[in-house]
Structure 1
């Protein structure tokens, strides 16, 4: 490998390791113990994008439609989502987040943000380092959204 390739590879490795560690720590912060990571991801998707069909949810979460159907069944049983029939096509059903589901997403996001803010505060970063973290977050978002 050439030097630029080595730098790219080592950067990717460092980013992967630190991202996974941070994600694992943040996943521990939840508003409800009965909501798994997969269930939370579906709820967050619905909160962000609004009412979606099961196929759309499955595609967004990169799982099969039957797997998503099982997830939605569990969330509906818990009162976190409801099925809403389409006004245009009786065969089509949409999934919509309930107020309880929205509360869990909001509370979990707040807990995770607070935990991360506390961790950053403990490290006593300079203003310049905080700006660097913000810039890195923007770059990481670009990579994640590609």
Structure 2
């Protein structure tokens, strides 16, 4: 029995669904949130002695993943959407990263109203330094699963996510 099973015991007392789908949906969502929270806690431990903050690292993380024109570069609006923060919040993050020499902002040659954010070599090195340490921590999140079970989990999550992308803007 895990924390989600205990949560579901409370859920069962309040709601009943004849087919049990509501219970399984709640269980999957609760476990997904808890896994994400565990990953985030581990990242914060990795960053304890690092000069970079959690928000700064996560901004670099989405920037590295935001390939535009074959390079890690994005607009502030794209980064805000990917990071799940407001555009004003992203501006504050980018101000700090630019002052630290980890990103640059230059006018967008395709749209003069916008800027392009690019990671600098120092930013890439800072991101890699943390990413390697965090990756080893993340790898332990699924120690209870074999590689084949993890592949199955990924296939099922992908199937759910593809269906969600069809109906919601993610």
TM-score bracket, shorter-length normalisation = 0.7 to 0.9
Question: Are the counterparts in 1 of residues 35 and 141 from structure 2 also a CA contact under 8 Å?
Answer: no
Secondary structure of the equivalent of 2:50?
coil
Report deviation, 1:132: 0.6
Partner of 1:82: 104
Counterpart position of 2:92: 70
Q: Which runs of 5+ in 1 are unaligned?
A: none
User: How many matched pairs?
Assistant: 141
- Matches of 2:141 and 2:91 in 1, distance apart? 38
User: Structure 1 residues 19-28 or 69-78, which shifts more?
Assistant: 19-28
Q: In the alignment, is the contact (CA less than 8 A) between 1:32 and 1:104 conserved in 2?
A: no
Give the Cα separation in 2 of the matches to 1:80 and 1:35.
Answer: 10
| 1:35 partner SS | coil
C-alpha distance in structure 2 between counterparts of 1:58 and 1:141, whole Å: 23
Instruction: Note the aligned Cα RMSD (angstroms).
Output: 2.9
Equivalent positions of 1:23-62 (< 5 A) are: 23-30=40-47, 33-49=50-66, 50-62=72-84
Return the TM-score normalized by structure 2: 0.66
The 1:89–1:105 alpha-carbon spacing in structure 2 relative to 1, beyond 3 Å, is same
Q: Deviations over 1:20-60 (max 9, x none)?
A: 22332244224972222221121112212222222222222
What residue number does 1:133 align with?
150
Q: Cα distance 1:142–1:22, how it changes in 2: closer, same or farther (>3 A)?
A: farther
Cα distance in 2, alignment partners of residues 8 and 21 from structure 1: 20
C-alpha distance in structure 2 between counterparts of 1:24 and 1:72, whole Å: 23
- Bigger relative contact order (CA 8 A; separation at least 6): 1
Aligned counterparts of 1:65 and 1:76: Cα–Cα separation in 2: 16
Contact 2:42–2:134, Cα closer than 8 Å, also in 1:
no
